[in-house]
Amino acid sequence: MAKIAGKKSGLVWTVHISVAALVILWLLPTTGLFVSSFRTADQISTSGWWSSLFSQEQNLVLRTAAPSTQRQEGNLWIIEGNVLSEGGATAQAEISAWGTSSRAISEYEPGATATLGDSGRVTVQANGDYRLESDVELTGSRGDRIFVTAELPPKFTLDNYQTVLFSGSTTDSMAKAFFNTLTVTIPATIIPIVIAAFAAYALAWMEFPGRALLIAAVVALLVVPLQLALIPLLRLHLSIGIGKGYLGVWLAHTGFGLPLAIYLLRNYMVGLPRDIIECAKVDGATDFQIFTRIILPLSFPALASFAIFQFLWTWNDLLVAKVFLIDATGDTTVMTNQIVELLGTRGGNWEILATAAFVSIAVPLLVFFFMQRYLVRGLLAGSVKGG
């Protein structure tokens, strides 16, 4: 009997395996996005994020120093330097092959000499040191291209975050979009919680005609598609003079979030001990005093669980922002819309896109991790009721 009682059923193992699989499926892309946000464009284009801690062979297009740095030795004009350090690569890299043409990037071994035109020669060493000789004076503003195949050690940089957060370009900077998103999200989270808390208390503990119909209406509104109400609501905003702006998007998020908020909070408040409320009424407490001093403190897990839902929804929203907050100047652009703009203007710069995407999910991750215990308690509340 003890063996049977101590044995886990197959369903329990299935649940554990499913949860582990979901965690892995969620964690892998998030980790990849985080690691990629610190890598350079060359690293992202040549290898996956999982190999970022190991040395990698990369093909680089570098240049010698400009002709303005040349010096004359006898009848020769000389330019010397290190092609790796001048090209921004680390000095610890080691060149395995190089070339002077894009059609033969590995034509020469380190230490070999290649001809440049009719009167020039260049020699490149394994550590990147080069010597360019010319029989005539070199002209132009840029050096000659050198195609290098090198083994590069791991390299991480904060330049991507510098570009995304502090760039002066309106197409790259996410700093203003970050604060615009906070401006939308915080009021759009607080307003429906305040309204829903009052409504949930009334539907849970106050007797009045039509209460059952109101509860049924709230449940019915849960299944109304958001897309169905966007255009009528926008026309209403335009007709009453709200237009497109922060006020309009706050009211839109409040209206779309209220049914779920009222439903969750009402189910939680119904499960609170009736004796406490009845004793408070016997002592002469009003409904407002009962609500503010008893119901709200006891309902904190439910309030926190909905706050997480509403915050994540409004933070990650693009559709409502596109409809109610469109702004050609970028003054009210939110982060989701900014990332869409980056996909169009910086589609080839994966390091910028990865950084912008991770910046946009960093705040929701922090909110979820710090408040997830309240989420579980709030969702489970009311599902069982003690005797």
Pairing of strands 76-82, 129-134: antiparallel
DSSP state letters, 285-311? --HHHHIIIIIHHHTHHHHHHHHHHHH
Instruction: Count the neighbouring beta carbons within 10 Å of the beta carbon of residue 211.
Output: 13
Q: Where are the domains of the chain?
A: 2-51, 56-153, 163-380
Closest among 40, 82, 37, 39 to 62, alpha carbons compared: 82
Asked if CATH classification 3.30.465.10 holds for the domain at 163-380, the reply, yes or no, is no
In 10 A of CB 307, how many CB atoms?
20
* Predicted TM-score (pTM) above 0.85: no
**Which amino acid belongs to residue 180?**
N
Closest CA to 116 of 142, 143, 134: 134
Distance CA 339, CA 321 (A): 13
Q: No. of H helices and E strands in the chain? A: 16, 8
Residue 281 in tokens: 């009424």
Q: Which burial class, exposed, middle or buried, applies to 197 when counting CB atoms under 10 A from its CB (0-12, 13-18, 19+)?
A: buried
- What does DSSP assign to residue 141? S
Residue 366 one-letter amino acid: L
Distances (CA, A) of 296 to 37, 190, 265, 288, 381: 42, 14, 10, 11, 15
User: In the chain, what is the greatest distance between 2 CA atoms, to the nearest angstrom?
Assistant: 109
Cα 130 from chain centroid (whole Å): 43
User: Per-residue confidence of the chain (387 residues) as pLDDT tens digits?
Assistant: 445 555 556 788 888 888 889 889 888 888 888 998 888 877 787 778 888 888 777 788 888 888 888 898 888 989 998 888 776 665 567 888 998 888 888 889 999 998 887 778 999 988 889 999 988 888 888 888 888 888 777 888 888 888 887 765 544 567 888 888 999 999 999 999 999 999 999 998 888 888 889 889 988 888 888 888 888 888 888 888 887 888 889 999 998 999 989 998 998 888 888 888 888 888 888 888 888 888 888 888 888 888 888 998 999 888 888 888 876 556 778 888 888 877 766 656 788 888 888 888 888 888 878 777 776 665 555 444 443
SS3 call for 333: coil
Looking at residue 169, its pLDDT comes to 56
Helix or strand holding residue 42 (H, E): helix 41-46
Whole-number Å distance between alpha carbons of 244 and 328: 12
Distance CA 108, CA 96 (A): 9
Quickly count: other Cβ atoms within 10 Å of residue 70's Cβ.
21
Q: Which residues are paired to 132 by β-bridges?
A: 79, 122
d(CA 340, CA 327): 14
CA 198, 200, 201, 202 dihedral sign is: positive
DSSP secondary structure, 149-206, as one string: EEEE-----SHHHHHHHH-S-TTT--HHHHHHHHHHHHHHHHHHHHHHHHHHHHHHH-
Cα separation of 199 and 269, whole Å?
11
